[in-house]
Chains A and B, each alone.
Chain A
């Protein structure tokens, strides 16, 4: 129960931050509520941008993935993100910021509409972005309920935990808007950063040092591969580097780029982003791998037993039994279990608050959807002109309440696996949508029809992969089910963890075909007018002349 008190104290603090942010805002304008008046300072911008992009997956999912797959998780997800995410912030984030300052854009959709001289393309992109974002919010509510229930030892039931977390997130987003969300994200990031180092030290000490644990893992043929990447092909590893392209296409990240007071505030963010990733991901991944040696923790021992059964008898078992064992062997809670076992009670409480911070990352997504709805739909279709800016902000706040309530009700009834699958492929979908930003910012020749083709392709591809994975059961670990071949070449196969196309993750063909469609269709269709192009691609001579 004691850890739960720390978590409740943390929830009270973040709720207060939201109310405090409301008192600091002073203006009832959309730009203030949704973008904090484009006034975030250097440290808040760095930590909150980082925190916005860190979800429950960072600590819980990363350690769970490492528990099952080993140290490769770090190279697969963290070090590739350490390069690609700052690079896309450098190339695209700074340009979005500049256009936001210059033309007053508050969402990427406003930019797309203006750049391609078409309102409808913005509406289509809004619908697709929203559809890909909603599962995250539902997963966030589910994660909140499950974590609060686990940390309190079952004293807080799942439905109540989910309700408490949903109410707190809704509260500080409702009151504080972007300012409150950014401050809470800053606090969350500081908690993440301290969480990693403390958990690493405490659990390492509890396990009697990591040297012996690593030696033990290497001495067993079942666990030695966890310390290398021999279980995955290099092509799979390479294709994972496409996934971080999704970050800049997420609406909450795109919108967040507009909140910096000055463009120079991107500089420390770009340089320190990889270091923050390192500080959080390295302990999470390493501890996830080390959990394989924590056989004195009964729940971890039963996970290892489920994995052993899956490996030894998997091929002979029916698909449902394999799915049950896969669920029983999943390691998303190994960090919580390690802390419960090795950390003193008071420290487990503080670290539990850190985990709670990770789970509550749906705040930015709720705010982003609210911003998009009020700006891209309500204001665009005349609501702002008819009812005024104050009603626009009220509409945004009402949307926050409605969205959170709907997400909570769905989280109570629907199975988590559906949304986990949706989230898994939302990353690939957003990576394919990143082509829209690159084309709009860097290619004069891109057109609304090219953008429409890329967007519709993304919808089709995400849907096709999701249907494929839900209808073709996953094969046993270490094997693949070949579905379609051309001669000797395997075109499509179902793997234990997902889908492979030419041995690559679906994100690669999805993104490359999205790029191809953008180029091909744009070349066949009419470009925007010269006036529009001059605003986005001023001629150097003209700039000098006007300056």
Chain B
């Protein structure tokens, strides 16, 4: 995962550059949405899935454990 996750992030970044839908609006998804726009709607959903993957597989837990609060908040104090 240490290598796979950065590679996946780079691939997702590169997928933003969809030159294959550059100059055509067809097919129109649902009869009104140009394919290029639909692709970027799907890309936005993919970005959300990527964040889910990062949160599940690469969450920096060590930061939580080392961040001992200098001033405990009200909630934590009780």
Residues of B within 8 A of A270 (CB): 51, 54-55
Compute the total of residue contacts between A and B using a CB distance below 8 Å.
147
Cβ A229 vs Cβ B43 within 8 A? no
Cα separation A271 to B76 with both chains bound (whole Å): 26
Cβ A90 vs Cβ B54 within 8 A? yes
Q: For the complex, count residues of A whose C-beta is within 8 A of B.
A: 58
Asked if B1 CB lies within 8 Å of chain A CBs, one says no
> Looking across the interface, which residue of chain B has its beta carbon closest to that of A238?
B17
Residues of B within 8 A of A300 (CB): none
With known contacts A102-B67, A228-B23, A79–B16 Cβ distance under 8 A? yes
Cα separation A439 to B11 with both chains bound (whole Å): 24
Residues of B within 8 A of A525 (CB): none
A:224-265 near B, CB below 8 Å: 224, 227-230, 234, 237-238, 241, 261-264
Q: For the complex, count residues of B whose C-beta is within 8 A of A.
A: 47
Contact with A along B24-48 (1 / 0, CB 8 A): 1100100111101101110111011
With known contacts A214-B28, A228-B25, A271–B55 Cβ distance under 8 A? yes
Cα separation A149 to B65 with both chains bound (whole Å): 52
Cα separation A543 to B36 with both chains bound (whole Å): 49
Residues of A within 8 A of B71 (CB): 31, 38, 104
Residues of B within 8 A of A262 (CB): 64
Cβ B25 vs Cβ A227 within 8 A? yes
Cβ A38 vs Cβ B73 within 8 A? yes
Asked if A95 CB lies within 8 Å of chain B CBs, one says yes
Asked if A462 CB lies within 8 Å of chain B CBs, one says no
Determine how close the nearest CB of chain A comes to the CB of B9; give it in whole angstroms: 7
Q: Of A90, A103, A228, which one neighbours B34 at CB under 8 angstroms?
A: A228
Question: Which stretch, A275-283, A306-314, A420-428, A503-511, touches the partner chain B?
Answer: A275-283
Q: Of A71, A79, A101, which one neighbours B47 at CB under 8 angstroms?
A: A79
Asked if A274 CB lies within 8 Å of chain B CBs, one says yes
Q: Of B48, B62, B73, B75, which one neighbours A82 at CB under 8 angstroms?
A: B48
Chain A interface residues (CB < 8 Å from chain B): 31, 37-39, 71-72, 74-75, 78-80, 82-83, 86-87, 90, 94-95, 97-99, 101-104, 209-211, 213-214, 218, 224, 227-230, 234, 237-238, 241, 261-264, 267, 270-275, 277-278, 282, 285-286, 538, 543
30 contacts between A and B (CB under 8 A): A38-B73, A39-B75, A71-B36, A71-B37, A74-B37, A75-B43, A78-B44, A79-B43, A86-B47, A97-B63, A98-B67, A101-B67, A101-B69, A102-B67, A103-B70, A214-B32, A227-B36, A228-B25, A229-B23, A229-B36, A261-B75, A273-B48, A274-B45, A274-B47, A275-B45, A275-B48, A277-B44, A286-B37, A538-B66, A543-B62
